[in-house]
């Protein structure tokens, strides 16, 4: 284990899981069970483990929080605003996957529930996740 003199940013991943129909696009969100932003909706995601890639972390977090299993995800971009997480300096790398249809999901781990939302009727979102979704779908 290394100890450094200088502070380090935390690294997280977030998943944009979406389904496009003829009339709208649906995105998968989780309701947070913990602070910060307890009871607010967010993209599934979390902190990476030291022995996994970013994509592996995103796939793991997605399954832990929603029960949804995917094999592959595509990297979208990183978000690094200095105050994006009120706990500490956090950089998040966003991954996405398009599904053919909405799959059954259930909230678990630190998510109290998981649910599909039309991108036209999103609830209030935690962190900078509204900005992330706006960037992704523009």
Domain ranges of the chain: 10-137
What CATH number belongs to 10-137? 3.90.79.10
pLDDT for 2: 65
Output the pTM of the full model: 0.95
Per-block average pLDDT, block size 10, for the chain (138 residues)? 82 98 96 96 97 98 98 98 93 98 95 97 98 97
107 upstream amide cis, omega within 30 of 0 = no
């Amino acid at each position: 284990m290394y100890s450094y003199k200088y502070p380090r940013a935390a690294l997280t991943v977030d998943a944009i899981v979406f389904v496009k129909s003829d009339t709208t696009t649906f995105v998968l969100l989780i309701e947070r069970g913990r602070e910060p932003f307890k009871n607010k909706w967010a993209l599934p995601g979390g902190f990476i483990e030291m022995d996994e890639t970013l994509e592996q972390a995103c796939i793991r977090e997605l399954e832990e929080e929603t029960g949804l299993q995917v094999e592959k995800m595509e990297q979208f971009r990183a978000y690094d605003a200095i105050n994006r997480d009120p706990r500490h300096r956090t950089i998040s790398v966003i991954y996405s996957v398009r599904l053919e249809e909405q799959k059954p999901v259930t909230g678990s781990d630190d998510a109290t529930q998981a649910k599909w939302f039309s991108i036209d009727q999103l609830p209030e979102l935690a962190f900078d996740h509204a900005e992330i979704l706006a960037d992704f779908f523009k």
